Amino acid sequence: MHSLTLKIDSVQLEFDGRKVLRDVYLDCSCGEIVGLLGRNGCGKSSLLKIIFGTLTAQYKYVAINDKFVAKGYKHGVAYLPQHHFLPRYASINQLAGQLVDPLFMPELAAMPIYQQHAHKRCEQLSGGEQRQFEMLMILFSNADFVLMDEPFTHVTPVQSNDFKKLMRKVAQHKGIIVTDHQYYNILEVSDRVILMNDGTTRPIYRPEQLVEYRYLSGL
Amino acid sequence: MKRFINLFFLFARPLQFFNAAFTIMALLNIYSLRGRFFLPAILLKLAGYVAVAAYQNFMDSRAFYFFQNSGHSVVRLYIIAFALDLLCFGLIVIILNHYHAFAHVKNR
């Protein structure tokens, strides 16, 4: 299979004169998970939205295999936002039928949570259950690249472990960029870690560097 | 194509009530103007589209990510939804006119 690479370069974003992102470089290939860490307000979510194509930057270069991509969602990029995004009035099986790749549908349909709730509308589910379906649908979508914004925040530790396994499995065919404040989950699941600091991206080779860059107070 | 049609109906579902309400208001407007002037009704329909889109943007814009994750532009889906609604409205007006729904006020 021809491997795809998502490349993000020279992203510049300003809010009210404050430079949130400058000189950002990030790349992700199919088959790997890239973890993105950074403090609150450092621009992690904004960067993912810029890649996905729902936030306009002052300048950006986003490309898949060196072909410029203006809006990621039109070119095989899926995005899991921090908040719930499934339409409340629709049932889970209707939504899954739209978003999930037919190749992955049998795997999703075999999951106990799907069998239990497939016929229910989203508004009938708890926040945690919705979050699980959102993660499953995004991971099982037909996108080549998956951007996940705080996927572990609303799920229990046991579910986090299950999702990390699923992410590893899905990452055999897709590229995943994941960000979360639960840094231990990011360190565990990621092949590479990037720290966003002062609007720029810095590769992290050793966990100790997170302390050096003052992202962590200690390990 | 079938997948897109299903996605479109999912998108258009919350718009139907508002579009139907503005259609009734526009038809009443045509009726009150004795079936002669259509421009105010069309302007009313257009104002309805702006109001519906603004309401959804304010109240339920989070769901837009679902449609974008399906690979479609929300603006494009709005344009298709409103164009189809306007087409239906036009057909209703033509049919009502054809069957003289407004005849009693026209002939007065």
Q: Indicate the pTM of the whole model.
A: 0.90
B97–chain A nearest CA distance, Å: 36
pLDDT in tens, A123-160: 999 989 999 999 999 999 999 999 999 998 888 899 99
Mean pLDDT of A15-31: 90
Percent of chain A with pLDDT over 90: 81
Task: Please write down the long-range contacts of A44-47, taking CB distance under 8 Å and 24 or more positions apart.
Answer: A44/A149, A44/A179, A44/A196, A45/A81, A45/A82, A45/A149, A45/A179, A46/A13, A46/A20, A46/A21, A47/A8, A47/A11, A47/A13, A47/A21, A47/A196
In 3D space, the residue among A153, A90, A36, A57 whose CA is nearest the CA of residue B66 turns out to be: A90
Q: Determine whether A212 is exposed, middle or buried from the number of CB atoms within 10 Å of its CB (0-12, 13-18, 19+).
A: exposed
pLDDT above 90 for A180: yes
Selected for mutation to probe chain A from B5, B66, B67, B77 (highest A CB count within 10 Å) is B66
Task: Tell me what ipTM this predicted complex has.
Answer: 0.92
CA distance B46 to chain A (A): 25
pLDDT in the model for residue A23: 82
- Whether residues B69 and A87 touch (CB distance < 8 A) is answered with no
- Sketch the domain layout of chain B as residue ranges: 2-103
- Chain A residues with CB-CB distance to B61 below 8 A: none
Q: How far apart are CA A68 and CA A52, in angstroms?
A: 13
- HSE at residue A149, side-chain half, CA atoms within 13 A, is 20
